[in-house]
Amino acid sequence: MTSAHPHDAQIRALYADFVDGWNRRSGAAVAAVFADDGDMVGYDGTTVSGRLSIASDLRRVFGSHPTATYVGLVRSVRSIAEGVAVLHAHAGMIPPGEDDVDPGLHSIHTLVAVDEGGGRWKTTLFQATPAAWLGRRDARDALTAELRGLLATAR
């Protein structure tokens, strides 16, 4: 863990709002956390640029098939330059119709936030990277247990 960023709560709120919007299957809610020129790199590598394009693409995704639900654990928020911060999180995915995370679908979430002025933080980049931890089953199992614990306390 790193020391808390001065705007830690605001940046964590961006991530929480992203996850909430995703889990509600709302392209508009997800896109609302992005800067106008923000970029999103999905779990499958799909890249979408611009807040309006992100909203449109996610409306298409959410409308075309069921999507997994995210459970996320923020690991750190740190400054990388004046007015720029990076958030790292581990996330689990609960497949549609299931009630437990699938250990084969864990991911690393990276969110880069920028202060657009007046303390108004927005996401300039969000990336979901598959986290297979090949050859490190112990790390995958530990994350699975931690995510399941988070689910249990949320219920």
Q: Are 14 and 113 in contact (CB under 8 A)?
A: yes
User: For 76, how many CA atoms within 13 A lie in the half-sphere containing its CB?
Assistant: 9
Residue 38 is part of which domain span?
7-154
Residue 3 scores a pLDDT above 80: no
State the DSSP H helix or E strand holding residue 88, giving kind and residue range, or none if neither.
strand 84-94
- Reduced to 3 states (helix: H, G, I; strand: E, B; else coil), residue 53 is helix
* Residue written as token pair 């990076």: 86
Q: What is the pTM of this model?
A: 0.92
Which of 61-65, 89-93, 140-144 is least confident? Answer: 140-144
Q: What is the pLDDT of residues 117-136, one digit of tens each?
A: 988 999 999 999 999 888 88
Which amino acid belongs to residue 14? L
Q: What pLDDT sits at residue 134? A: 84
Question: What band does 83 get if pLDDT is binned at 50, 70 and 90?
Answer: very high
CATH of the domain at 136: 3.10.450.50
Asked whether residue 98 is domain-assigned, the answer is yes
Q: What pLDDT sits at residue 1? A: 44
Asked whether residue 40 is domain-assigned, the answer is yes
Residue 38 scores a pLDDT above 70: yes
- Reduced to 3 states (helix: H, G, I; strand: E, B; else coil), residue 55 is helix
Asked whether residue 72 is domain-assigned, the answer is yes
Asked whether residue 2 is domain-assigned, the answer is no
Asked whether residue 1 is domain-assigned, the answer is no
Asked whether residue 51 is domain-assigned, the answer is yes
Residue 69 scores a pLDDT above 60: yes
From CA 18, how far away is CA 12, in angstroms rounded? 10
Domains in the chain: how many in total?
1
**Quick one: 150 exposed, middle or buried, by C-beta within 10 A (0-12, 13-18, 19+)?**
middle
Q: What pLDDT sits at residue 62? A: 96
**Quick one: 64 exposed, middle or buried, by C-beta within 10 A (0-12, 13-18, 19+)?**
exposed
Asked whether residue 149 is domain-assigned, the answer is yes
Asked whether residue 113 is domain-assigned, the answer is yes
